[in-house]
A = this chain, B = another copy of it.
């Protein structure tokens, strides 16, 4: 395996040191290790925990085809001019089987990664129990250590995607396009509760004005659910030409400042770290349980009886957990 060799070549200490120095290749390797659930990644992250920058985490969400990637690229280019260091994590709805990234993203990555102060990474949604959100959290951590000022997380949907940016981002930007159809319009009513800024992208297409008016009406209708101090911003953009990008940056900054002043940003940060702690607990639980199962074939032994309805999964789950705890105590190998 190529990756295994790579991991060996870069032992824990070196990667941590390089990462703290801002080495992007070290960051890329560490993220690969996180994706491959390499135990050493954890050791390195542990070592770097106190070296994190207080990065702004910006969730960019919207349906496929709304132009999220182009928009993020434009934002990144503008923020680069302000001497910001930018990280981009693009969560791809890749194949659950091959886990491959898209050709389009590879091209994009090659282009943007050429900039010294940009780091961009695609992450696929590869099966397993909640694997991707843990990988994304880990990647955010890596980019914090790398010293990024702004970290963009690009993902499809809010509340329906496995990576729920609303739970981890300081600012949430929802990207829409004119004429998305009634059901999307309706869904927005829910999204209004978590979005800080709504972008109507492709504003050179028909129906922009109606889209903006519809959004404003939705906001008025749902006013009681929303923050009075920082009403949702609506910005029209044409990501492909850069139109509206400075306005979008201004809107994002206004929201971030408001959240920082009110203490909301600190609370979000605390919640984010709590989620990470809980995710680590779950990760470790499954690691240990899988080890137990590997040695005892505990799950497979019980599965037959459940399939044939001689046993049920509820009682068997209780028994398995009990047995695992007992095994863990007597083996005492953790």
Contact = CB atoms under 8 A, between A and B. Distances in A.
Interface stretch (A4-12, A114-122, A252-260, A282-290): A282-290
A193 B98 contact: yes
Contacts of A313: 49, 273, 276-277, 280
Nearest to A306: B273
Contacts of A314: 42, 45-46, 49, 280
A317 B284 contact: yes
A208 B329 CA distance: 62
Contact of A317 (B158, B280, B315, B317): B280
Given A164-B127, A325-B329, A329-B325, A96 B285 contact: no
A307 B270 contact: yes
A52 B277 contact: no
Contacts of A184: 64-65
Given A273-B307, A314-B280, A159 B285 contact: no
A263 interface: no
A274 B303 contact: yes
A186 interface: yes
A302 B321 CA distance: 26
B65 A180 contact: yes
Given A225-B98, A270-B307, A317 B162 contact: no
A315 B46 contact: yes
Interface string A291-316: 00000000100110011010011111
Interface in A267-282: 269-270, 273-274, 276-278, 280-282
A281 B277 contact: no
Given A299-B274, A316-B277, A190 B307 contact: no
